[in-house]
């Protein structure tokens, strides 16, 4: 069967991670999320993590040298050999070129770039309201959409909820500027290559998921023709 080599594009807070979790199950693809990989490195205190942290806290992109080799290697090997779902990479033209070269070197090609579109104001509303548990940062709440039972306290651990540094409004604005300046040009790049597919990220996550799943299922059929 043909491979599905997919990337997710869209601003921070568009719901790429949520959709990736579901698509990973639908199509048995490894989900490669650069933000998650970097956060794990920061938590472990590795050299890469130490290099990345200040850029991440400021909402800026981690330098390409730190990230490109790591992702290209990951895409070429192991569980990604038969397809992948990249989330958070590429973030600029250099990264897109590096990915394209790596895939052609392996005689593979990108199946689609899935773009989830959400306006800036909605991104700020979603991200600035996010709160995480100080003990377990995978316990995530939202002050409006998913509040804890007691304000500021984790339902599961009973400890304080905090706002991640990169969820502070000022940092979100920087992340959006970085997105518009560096990542948004990839929309035209992948559209020109005929692989762009657009989705309305302001809709209910279930609806967004249904649309993406139907599109990817069709792409898979076409790849197999």
Binding site for ligand AMP (CB under 6 A): 12, 34-35, 38, 55-56, 59-62, 67, 88-89, 91, 95, 166, 175
211 token code pair: 């649309």
We find the least distance from the C-beta atom of residue 2 to ligand AMP, in angstroms, to be: 26
We find the least distance from the C-beta atom of residue 113 to ligand AMP, in angstroms, to be: 14
The nearer residue to ligand AMP, 83 or 88, going by C-beta atoms, is 88
- Answer yes or no: 130 catalytic: yes
Active-site position among 39, 91, 126, 131: 91
The nearer residue to ligand AMP, 40 or 188, going by C-beta atoms, is 40
Q: Which residues contact 212 (CB under 8 A, 6 or more apart)?
A: 19, 23, 114, 197, 199
Q: Which residues contact 14 (CB under 8 A, 6 or more apart)?
A: 116, 117, 118, 123, 201
The nearer residue to ligand AMP, 3 or 166, going by C-beta atoms, is 166
We find the least distance from the C-beta atom of residue 224 to ligand AMP, in angstroms, to be: 30
Where would I find the beta strands (DSSP E) of the chain? Answer: 4-9, 31-33, 83-87, 112-117, 130-133, 140-142, 161-162, 196-200
Active-site position among 108, 164, 173, 220: 164
We find the least distance from the C-beta atom of residue 110 to ligand AMP, in angstroms, to be: 15
For ligand AMP, the nearest residue by Cβ is: 35
- Answer yes or no: 91 catalytic: yes
Active-site position among 126, 130, 131, 197: 130
Radius of gyration of the chain, Cα coordinates, nearest whole angstrom: 18
Active-site position among 39, 126, 131, 175: 175
We find the least distance from the C-beta atom of residue 21 to ligand AMP, in angstroms, to be: 13
- Answer yes or no: 39 catalytic: no
The nearer residue to ligand AMP, 38 or 116, going by C-beta atoms, is 38
CB 140 within 8 A of CB 180: no
The SS3 call for residue 87 is strand
Query: What angle (nearest 5°) sits at the alpha carbon of residue 129, between those of residues 126 and 132?
Result: 110
Query: What angle (nearest 5°) sits at the alpha carbon of residue 102, between those of residues 43 and 8?
Result: 60
The nearer residue to ligand AMP, 9 or 62, going by C-beta atoms, is 62
Catalytic positions: 16, 91, 130, 164, 175
């Amino acid at each position: 069967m043909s491979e599905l080599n997919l990337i997710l594009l869209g601003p921070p807070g568009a719901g790429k991670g949520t959709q990736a979790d579901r698509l990973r199950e639908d199509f048995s693809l490894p989900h490669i999320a650069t933000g998650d990989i970097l956060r794990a490195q920061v938590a472990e205190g590795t050299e890469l993590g130490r290099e990345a942290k200040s850029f991440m806290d400021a909402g800026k992109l981690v330098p390409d040298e730190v990230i490109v080799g790591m992702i290209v290697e990951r895409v070429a090997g192991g569980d990604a050999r038969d397809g992948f779902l990249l989330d958070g990479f590429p973030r600029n033209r250099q990264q897109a070129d590096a990915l394209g070269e790596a895939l052609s070197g392996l005689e593979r090609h990108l199946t689609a770039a899935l773009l989830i579109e959400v306006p800036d104001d909605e991104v700020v509303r979603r991200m600035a309201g996010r709160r995480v548990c100080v003990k377990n940062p995978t316990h995530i709440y939202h002050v409006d959409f998913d509040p804890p039972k007691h304000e500021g306290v984790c339902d599961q651990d009973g400890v304080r909820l905090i706002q991640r540094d990169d969820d502070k409004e000022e940092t979100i604005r920087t992340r959006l500027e970085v997105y518009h300046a560096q990542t948004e040009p990839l929309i035209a790049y992948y559209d020109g290559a005929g692989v762009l597919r657009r989705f309305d990220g302001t809709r209910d996550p279930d609806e967004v998921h249904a649309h993406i799943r139907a599109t990817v299922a069709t792409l898979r059929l076409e790849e197999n023709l």
